Chains A and B, each alone.
Chain A
Amino acid sequence: MIEILIVFIKIIFALIWLLTLTLYLTWVERKESAVIQDRIGANRASILGIRIIGLFQPFADAIKMIFKEDFTPSFSKKFLHDLAPFLSFFFVAITISAIPFGDFISIGGKTINLLILDINVGLLFVLAMLSLGIYGILIAGWSSNNKFTLIGGLRGAAQLISYEVALGLSLIGLIMVYPSLNLSQIVHFQGELLFGVVPKWGIFLQPLGFMIFFFAALAETKRVPFDLPEGESEIIGFFTEYGGLKWGLFMMTDFMEVIIVSCLLTTLFFGGWQVPWLATDGFHFPWGGEWLLSHWVVVLFQVAAFNIKVFFFSWLQVLIRWTYPRFRYDQLMDMGWKLLIPLSLVNIVGTGILMSI
């Protein structure tokens, strides 16, 4: 009974974490784009005259979206049209269950892993759920019964399928280095040291794999250098016929994908919750020093490290989104099939040769 309760609490915490971060990522996006374009950005939302640099803005946006009319066009296929945003949202939100937030906490002799779903194929689970996310786009584009949305949906599906191949192949090198598909075990492997000094993070062992994964994952988020399915200036995209909260779900899915990609980058290539030289009982520096800490301080360090890394990558993705122009369709496909996939094959072969030496 208590086990079920613990899992329940973990799910609620993870969802609150994800949704809060999503809300504030919209604020970060508005502010960062404003700074890049030499504007001030959203700063008017205020509660009782207090308007700390627009921090209440996401709530104002959310309230506005909730009270908009829930509109379904008469020419659409009603059931599928209503289903699509929920599919999109669900398959991204569920991936958070495989991401390890920290090592473990022990309360009253019980050890609780800071991870909801501890299966031995966690990495594949995340990839599977991300690949099912395509259906949200495809169904939205098709059921709206509108040529532009259909083009958007088909473009989205083509792009996601193409980049999924590179995404999967880029991770094979990583799986060869850390012989496991379990995300928490991958993070544990990254706690070891290379030459006794450098932490054994994925970025040091698989630099090429990291670059391929980063590009492919950026394409999977469907945001600006890769926003072909949306294409604001030409086709408006697969969610043209949506309004109110259903459109809001699509928008939140976009931001949640950014966060999930940040989580994956952190977990796979930047040591997850690992802090360099921090073991379960405190810091052991390679030059001989020691700084012993109690269990709770260690947990705090780990969770904070995970969060800081995720924040950094989310910020970096917003920066990329507001810096680069959109790819042309043929450039997008060329990059996926003719650059990233051959490179990831080279990465696999190279990793194999280096490991056998």
Chain B
Amino acid sequence: MGHFLFFLLAIICVGSVLGMIISKNQAYNALLLVLAFASLGGLFGLLDAPFIATVQIIIYAGAIMVLFIFVIMMINLRLGLPPEKKKWTLYFSLGVAVVLIVELILSVKGAFSLFENSSMEKIGGPTDLGRLLFTKYLYPFEITSILIIAALVGAIVLVKKKEKE
């Protein structure tokens, strides 16, 4: 049952990401990305980490992507890219792809050694996560929150400026 669910979710996840890359309609792209996030949440759930699974769905699928789709549906975008940008994006995306593949291989290698050392039991619980965030990882946590607040304030300032003009 677990294996069946894993492969089902993995196929949905990879398939929707592929579809997202191939499809040229922005709204479909965003919706396929939502599907990918949702199935990723399901995969976290299979790994006995229900907290991360639900938070993944609430934040990525439920909040961030809604805003993406909101904007895409409001401003009617053209299908695909304009031809003068196409050549430039090809080279750029090839470079980015190579860097990302190298990073992926390295991180997967690192994850395997981590997997052997740590016990699987203590990943998912909200209590453990909260305790770790407020003791061991307090500084990264606070710095991240300051970064997010700065981005939020910046967004508000940008919007305000436009209104005055």
Seen from chain A, the residues whose Cβ lies within 8 Å of a Cβ on chain B are 80, 119-121, 124-125, 127-128, 131-132, 134-135, 138-139, 141-142, 150, 153-154, 157-158, 161, 164, 181
A154–B51 Cα distance when bound, in Å, is 29
- Chain B 14-68 interface residues, beta-carbon cutoff 8 Å to A: 27, 31, 34, 38, 41, 50-51, 54-55, 57-58, 61-63, 66-67
Rounded to whole Å, the gap between the CB of A74 and the closest CB of chain B is 19
Question: With A154-B73, A157-B66 in contact, do A128 and B58 touch (Cβ < 8 Å)?
Answer: yes
Is A121 a contact of B126 with CB atoms below 8 Å?
A: yes
- Let me know if B70 is at the binding interface, CB within 8 A: yes
Q: CA of A172 to CA of B145 in the docked complex: distance in angstroms?
A: 18
Report which of B54, B55, B61, B66 forms a contact with A138, defined as CB distance below 8 A. Answer: B66
Please state if A124 and B74 are interface contacts (CB–CB under 8 Å).
no
- Interface residues contributed by chain B, number (CB under 8 Å): 22
Enumerate chain A residues within 8 angstroms of B63, measured Cβ to Cβ: 131, 161, 164
Q: What chain B residues lie within 8 Å of A134 (beta carbons)? A: 62, 66
**A181 contacts B126, C-beta separation under 8 Å:** yes
B57 contact set on A, CB distance < 8 A: 128, 131-132
In angstroms, how far is the closest chain B Cβ from the Cβ of A264?
A: 15
B73 touches A153 (CB 8 A): yes
Q: Which residues of B contact A157 (CB under 8 A)?
A: 66, 69-70
In the assembled complex, which residues on chain B have CB atoms less than 8 Å from the CB atom of A164?
62-63
Chain B interface residues (CB < 8 Å from chain A): 27, 31, 34, 38, 41, 50-51, 54-55, 57-58, 61-63, 66-67, 69-70, 73-74, 125-126
- Known contacts A120-B50, A121-B50, A157-B70, A135 near B125 by CB under 8 Å: no
Would A127 and B58 count as touching, CB distance under 8 A?
A: yes
Which residue on chain A has the smallest CB distance to residue B28? A80
Nearest chain A CB to B133's CB is how many angstroms away? 15
**Interface contact A128-B70, CB-CB below 8 Å:** no
* Distance between Cα atoms of A138 and B69 in the complex (Å): 8
| B54 CB contacts on chain A under 8 angstroms | 121, 124-125, 127-128
Contact of B58 among A131, A138, A150 (CB under 8 A): A131
Q: Smallest distance from the beta carbon of B89 to chain A beta carbons, Å?
A: 27
Inter-chain contact A120/B125, CB cutoff 8 Å: yes
Assembly CA distance A219 to B69 (angstroms): 21
Q: Which residues of A contact B67 (CB under 8 A)?
A: 161
How many angstroms from the CA of A135 to the CA of B73 in the assembled complex? Answer: 12
**Minimum Cβ distance to chain A for residue B82 (Å):** 24
State the CA gap A157–B65 with chains docked (Å).
11
Q: Which of B54, B57, B126 has most A Cβ within 10 Å?
A: B54
15 A-B pairs within 8 Å (CB atoms) are namely A80-B31, A120-B50, A121-B51, A124-B51, A128-B41, A128-B54, A131-B58, A132-B61, A135-B66, A138-B69, A138-B70, A138-B73, A142-B73, A153-B73, A161-B66
B34 proximity list for chain A (CB < 8 A): 135
Shortest beta-carbon distance, A311 to chain B, in Å?
A: 29
Taking CB atoms, residues of chain A closer than 8 Å to B69 are: 135, 138, 142, 157
- Nearest to B27 among chain A residues (CB) is A142
Kindly state the separation between the CA atoms of A125 and B50 in the bound complex, as whole angstroms: 9
Q: Bound state CA distance, A127 and B50, in angstroms? A: 13
Cβ-defined partner of B62 (8 Å) among A80, A128, A150, A181: A128
Q: Which of B34, B50, B62, B69 has the most CB of A within 10 A?
A: B62
Q: Are A154 and B70 in contact (CB under 8 A)?
A: yes
Bound together, the chains give a CA A132 to CA B57 distance in angstroms of 8
Contact partners of A135 in chain B: CB under 8 A: 31, 34, 66, 69
A150 to B57, CA, bound (A): 25
Q: How far is the CA of A80 from the CA of B31 in the complex (A)?
A: 10
Beyond A124-B58, A154-B70, 7 additional pairs, beta carbon < 8 A:
A127-B54, A128-B57, A132-B38, A138-B70, A154-B73, A161-B63, A164-B63
